[in-house]
Structures are given as structure tokens and as C-alpha cells.
Amino acid sequence: MSKRVVITGLGCISPLGNDVNSTWENVVAGKSGAGQITKFDTTDYKTTIAAEVKGFDAKALFGRREVRRMDLVSMYALAAAQQAVENAGLEINEDNRDRIGAVVGTGIGGIGTLFENVKTFLEQGPARVSPFLVPRMLPDTPGGMIAIHLGVRATNFAVVTACATGTNALGESAEVIRRGQADVILAGGSEASIVPIAVAGMIVMGALSDRNEEPEKASRPFDAGRNGFVMGEGAAILVLESLEHAQSRGAPILAEVTGYGSTNDAYHISAPAENGVGAALCMRAALDSANMSGDEIGYVNAHGTSTNLNDKSETAAIKTVFGEHAYKLAVSSTKSMTGHLLGAAGALEALFCVKAINEDVLPPTINYETPDPECDLDYVPNKARPVQVDHVMSNSFGFGGHNATIVLSRYSGVGL
């Protein structure tokens, strides 16, 4: 019999705070984490804004020696994982470490390390490249560093599906637990791509907003004035556990993972399929997995990137899947506040869904000023909304046509 999977711990590093409480408080307050880029000189850049992590002291957390071994993408992931384990009250020891794993995704990996070493290579030659180049830049290193530092020895792999990564990591982790290969998985995503080459690449694609004079208003999902996303960074890790294991140790059960869908558009390398066909297929798959009808969902945390095509296609997909219920649904995009964390986005947004269930508050879509006739749903505009919801859905869609959807539910102790 398939095991039930619950969430018992949360941890995050985000543009809105370096822990869950401060991040959630700022989300509920409708605060933007966007500002001018401070990590490099943006003089020649059309876009000069991003949602950076602020005040993150890696040396204080890990020590100078360990910081030399890790790209920022791994540091964010490890810091979030440590928070999540503490939040879950999970003691890792010789008796259980073989049944605890880590599945952590990243869309781009250690691109900061790669960029700096390419410069060194070109300017000083191959002998000057760092011996840490390869392990620091690999996409599986964040999960590997979590395993090394926390001592977990069950399954450990990376998910790389562009902006769907974080949600796929959670969904695949739940599947590992359901089939009995682990009791606990530290699951989520991390990204540290506010790096000159990555920002330049997004700019020339036309993906980023250039509303540089008002960075806090640049990310405006579903608004008629949207003109691209704001790049963000950070990590979110959730502790996923079999229900039996969580109950055996008296763990706090924050929510249950009840559904998961994963599809591909098979359409275009970066644009979503017209009318959101692939996204709709994914949402339906998640509902089928949860054995739910669309009417049971009370809130959707949308992918909602603030790009013209994504927001239109996702709105169309929601209407396709939910029918008339779509107009009764609360749908919001927290990217309006956090920016787009790329491979970490889905994990952070799932964390927000867990908080919404526990706190009975739905996060808003800020900067929603001018309705778009093609985006005509209830986007929880500008202010958080006190509402109790029992079942929520979180969407993530990535370049390459990757789609991932997860359904999370209030834990009731009753079979679903």
C-alpha cells in the first residue's frame, strides 16, 4: 500500500528574509524584495534590478574553510536545510541516517563559480583554475553538501527542470517515500544566479523587466502593465516524511502532500504552449493523483512570472481545468514579492502554501493595478486575505516546456 507523505519542517533563505518567519511576515505584509543589483556593476545592462538575498553571512554559518568549498547555491541550500531539520525536531543519528535522504534541485547550479573560473582561465591560464571548480558548479552538489553536513545516507539526487525544478523535487521526493525507499527526504530547490552572464542571458531573451526606476513595482503578475520577471535567489527546503514515521516520533504535521503532476508541453524551448495545454494536463494529473475534483481546491499559488505569455497561458489553463470554479478560486503569485527564484521558486512557493494552510491567510499578488482582459481571475490583489483553505495547489512551469504541480492539504488524520 502506498504510504502517505506529510510535511514536518520548513526552512528558507529568500529575498524577503533569511528564515521562514521573517519571509512569511513580509509576504503577508505585501513587501517586495526587489531592488538595484549590488552583486556586480550593471552599467551596461538594460535591466539593473533583482531580488537579492540580503545579510546572508555564510562564514558565520559554516566557517571560512567550508565556504571555500561551496558555491553560494550550496550555501543557501544547506542553510535552509539546517533550518528545516530544526523546525521538524528531527534528530539525525546512526539509527536513522540510512533512511533519510536529500533531493535538492537547481535550475542553473553553481554558475557564479563557473563564471569566475572562466575569467581566471582566460586571463591567467588553465593552471590557475580552482580545484573546487567542478564540485562547486555541479547541480547535484547542494544535495551532496546537505548529506555531508547533516549525515544523511538514503537517496540523494538533483532535479533539473528549469523553473519547474523545486516542485518536481518535492513531488519526486514524495514518490520516493511512497514506495518505501526512505522515511524522510529533505526536499526543495536552491538558486544563486544573480551573476553577470546569467542576467545578461535573460535580458537578451527579453525575459526580464526593465522597470529599473521602480524595482519594487517591476514584478506585477497578471497586471496589464507587466513586462517581464525580476530575477530572485535563495533556497527552500521542506522535510517530507512518511506519516507513520512522523507519528512515531511525535513530529508536528504541517500539511500533507496529496497530489503531484509532471508533464511537458513538447512545444517550444522557452515559450509556454498556447492556451496552456501542457499546464492544464499537469494540473489535471495532480488532481487525479490526489483523487480530488477541482472544486475541492481553495487556493492556487500560480507560477505567475509577470511575463506576458506565461500569465495569459496559465490563466487559460486554470480555466480549462477548473471550469466555473476558476472564478471562485483565489489565485496569487508570490513572485510579485520574491521575484523569480528559478529552480528554487517551486519549493519556496510550496512553503508559502503550507504557511497559508497553517495560518489561514492567503498571500497577495502585489502591484496589481490594471486588469488584463485575458487575465480575469481573482488574483488576491495587493493585500493578504484571511481565508481558511484545506486543499491548495502550486504550479511551476519551466523553459523547455517542463510543468510541475503539487497539491498540499490540511492534515486531518482521516484517510484521503
Which residue among the candidates 163, 282, 353, 375 is catalytic per the annotation? Answer: 163
Q: Which domain holds residue 382?
A: 255-409
pLDDT digits (tens, 9 = 90+) for 170-218: 999 999 999 999 999 999 999 999 999 999 999 999 999 999 999 999 9
- State the pLDDT at residue 400: 92
| 1 domain residue, yes or no | no
Using DSSP, state whether 279 is helix, strand or coil.
helix
Active site annotation includes 340: yes
> Has residue 70 got a pLDDT over 60?
yes
Residues 108 and 231 in one domain: yes
Domain count, the chain: 2
Q: What is the C-alpha to C-alpha distance for residues 275 and 223, in angstroms, rounded to an integer?
A: 18
Q: Which of 218, 248, 278 is the last residue of a domain?
A: 248
| 219 domain residue, yes or no | yes
Q: What is the C-alpha to C-alpha distance for residues 113 and 229, in angstroms, rounded to an integer?
A: 24
Q: What is the C-alpha to C-alpha distance for residues 247 and 242, in angstroms, rounded to an integer?
A: 9
| 167 domain residue, yes or no | yes
Closest by CA to 282, choosing from 205, 357, 394, 153, is 394
CB 53 within 8 A of CB 35: no
pLDDT digits (tens, 9 = 90+) for 347-406: 999 999 999 999 999 999 999 999 999 999 999 999 999 999 999 999 999 999 999 999
CB 345 within 8 A of CB 374: no
Residues 229 and 345 in one domain: no
First to last CA, the chain: 14
Cell triple for residue 144?
551532496
- State the pLDDT at residue 275: 85
**pLDDT grade, residue 2 (50/70/90)?**
confident
pTM for the full model?
A: 0.97
Q: Which of 204, 225, 248 is the last residue of a domain?
A: 248
- State the pLDDT at residue 272: 87
Average pLDDT, integer, range 107-118: 97
Q: Considering the chain, what percentage of its residues have pLDDT values greater than 70?
A: 99
> Has residue 413 got a pLDDT over 90?
no
Average pLDDT, integer, range 121-142: 97
Residues 243 and 277 in one domain: no
| 131 domain residue, yes or no | yes
- State the pLDDT at residue 315: 98
Residues 43 and 152 in one domain: yes
| 416 domain residue, yes or no | no
**Amino acid letter at 162?**
A
Which residue among the candidates 245, 340, 391, 402 is catalytic per the annotation? Answer: 340
Residues 35 and 166 in one domain: yes
- State the pLDDT at residue 149: 97
Active site annotation includes 303: yes
How many C-beta atoms lie closer than 10 Å to residue 415's C-beta? 5
Average pLDDT, integer, range 216-243: 98
Q: What is the C-alpha to C-alpha distance for residues 341 and 235, in angstroms, rounded to an integer?
A: 8
Q: Which of 248, 274, 306 is the last residue of a domain?
A: 248
Residues 391 and 375 in one domain: yes
Average pLDDT, integer, range 81-105: 98
| 2 domain residue, yes or no | no
Residues 223 and 259 in one domain: no
Residues 231 and 379 in one domain: no
Q: What is the C-alpha to C-alpha distance for residues 404 and 167, in angstroms, rounded to an integer?
A: 6
- State the pLDDT at residue 202: 97
**What is the Cα gyration radius of the chain?**
20
Q: What is the CATH number of the domain that holds 357?
A: 3.40.47.10
Cell triple for residue 211?
522597470
Active site annotation includes 282: no
> Has residue 414 got a pLDDT over 70?
no
> Has residue 121 got a pLDDT over 60?
yes
CB 203 within 8 A of CB 197: no
| 368 domain residue, yes or no | yes
Residues 290 and 216 in one domain: no
Q: Considering the chain, what percentage of its residues have pLDDT values greater than 90?
A: 97
> Has residue 416 got a pLDDT over 50?
no
Which residue among the candidates 245, 303, 391, 402 is catalytic per the annotation? Answer: 303
Residues 342 and 210 in one domain: no
Provide the mean pLDDT of the chain.
Answer: 97
Residues 40 and 169 in one domain: yes
Residues 26 and 121 in one domain: yes
